[in-house]
Structure 1
């Protein structure tokens, strides 16, 4: 199982969740909302071979913490994963859209300066702006659009730009989410939960709940759930090996 976007440190009992994910042999990308949280996640997940930690600065926090972008750049030296980053265009955060765009652009330029990074990107209400920044700044890094909710036209553009996508059970509750999934490239797709923010009723989704996407993929791809799972793991290997190739270039 693969959870490519999960806030491990924000569960009520992160140690228990981490231990269970490890027991189940789940690959988890622990995204962070601030660079300070990156160090905390490194400590929390020490010794867990299938858990990777990304350094991030969540767009919802940029207005208050934009000066921490220098710490994001600094910690990139310790990880090939960056996230959660991006732009949020929802009404509550629209006033900081210009600043968010500047911070997002700076992070992408820094990722390129390090030779490329795997990026988990937030684009709610701002898909076109996010894609503009990706197009202007990326050539080595690999962008993964987390819980993409843009238009079909924006999805087509994202595909043309080489973006990857991570989808979770919460996204697939809407007809729009399922329609977008049907048009995403099979070889550039990964699963996620966005737990504990994404929930199942009152309960937060857990990293192993990413597997709930498998029956949907199996139906969409006309294959078994186990075949869909194998394809996702092949995608993950290709993602990581592509970046390794960039490093070697």
Structure 2
């Protein structure tokens, strides 16, 4: 009954909470955390965390829901990632700024700059032979698919994915993975993804410290919540719990080349 949390922002937790989580991983049968980064400072912090915690696997990237970095900052980040590529399991989290763009509602929003930056990260993942972790929801997802197909990327992980049926079918044809959060218990969009995707293209995540509702209201998001995700997938797909546990566990190990 072991699990991975396939997507978490561990550096965004308070240090005391980090230690509590680390100390509780074994008792909660959490085999490891795929720890994504927000920017260069986040990459550097996550590398430090991973160096003293072997169950935490870092990914390095730039989260798109923030202001576009300067050319100098991009160069510095890519140089740093190149020097530390052997320490990371993936490029991520990267993608396109759906929520930021919606909030600003500005016709002059520099969307193409985000697309161009994402393409550079995709080329980097290709060059380094690393998987890529994507923030790409709704109408951004087809744009991202275009780029992945252009560069013949095979190992792409769309975390907390939301999109229409046509886009989901496109992801499945490409063999791209999705990961599902605890909102599977109450969010219909997430439940639709479960219904559509085959089990061999699914992972489970928390996206912590992002908070959840329902039975998780007012709780600190903990990797152990992944067990709720696994159980709900088992019930929804009418597949034995042991089989779901086993396959989701192996999906993460295979995708991220974890021995």
Q: Same fold (TM over 0.5)?
A: yes
Residue in 1 that maps onto 2:110: 96
Aligned length: 241
In the alignment, the residues of structure 1 paired with residue 158 and residue 43 of structure 2 have an alpha-carbon distance, to the nearest angstrom, of: 20
Q: Counterpart of 1:31? A: 36
For the aligned residues, what is the CA RMSD? Answer: 2.3
1:7 pairs, out of 6, 9, 12, with: 9
Q: Which of residues 36, 58, 76 is equivalent to 1:53?
A: 58
Matched, 1:235 2:235: no
Q: Choose 200-209 or 97-106, whichever is displaced more.
A: 200-209
User: Quick one: distance in 1 between partners of 2:118 and 2:42?
Assistant: 18
**1:148 equivalenced with 2:161 (yes/no):** yes
Query: Following superposition, which runs of at least 4 residues in structure 1 exceed 4 angstroms of deviation?
Result: 64-67
Q: Is the 8 A contact 1:62 1:99 kept in 2?
A: no
Against the structure 1 CA distance between its residues 33 and 51, is the aligned structure 2 distance closer, same or farther, given a 3 Å change threshold? same
Q: Deviations over 1:56-114 (max 9, x none)?
A: 10001242456433344331523231111111223136723211101100000011112
Contact 2:182 2:226 in 1 (8 A): yes
- Cα 1:82–1:107 shift into 2, 3 Å: same
Which residue of the partner structure matches residue 247 of structure 1? none
- Tell me how far 1:18 sits from its aligned partner: 2.8
Conserved? CA contact 2:95–2:144, under 8 Å: yes
Which runs of 5 or more structure 2 residues have no equivalent in the other structure? none
1:181 and 2:194 correspond = yes
Matched residue, 1:63: 68
In structure 2, relative to structure 1, the CA distance for the partners of 1:190 and 1:25 (3 Å cut) is: same
Give the distance between the partners of 1:62 and 1:205, measured in 2 at CA: 26
TM-score, with structure 2 as normaliser: 0.84
Equivalences for residues 155-170 of structure 1 within 5 A = 155-170=168-183
| Alpha-carbon distance between aligned partners in 2 of 1:68 and 1:193, rounded to the nearest angstrom | 29
TM-score (normalizing by structure 1): 0.87
Distance 1:239 1:58, change over 3 A: same
Structure 1 window deviating more from structure 2 (70-79 vs 181-190): it is 70-79
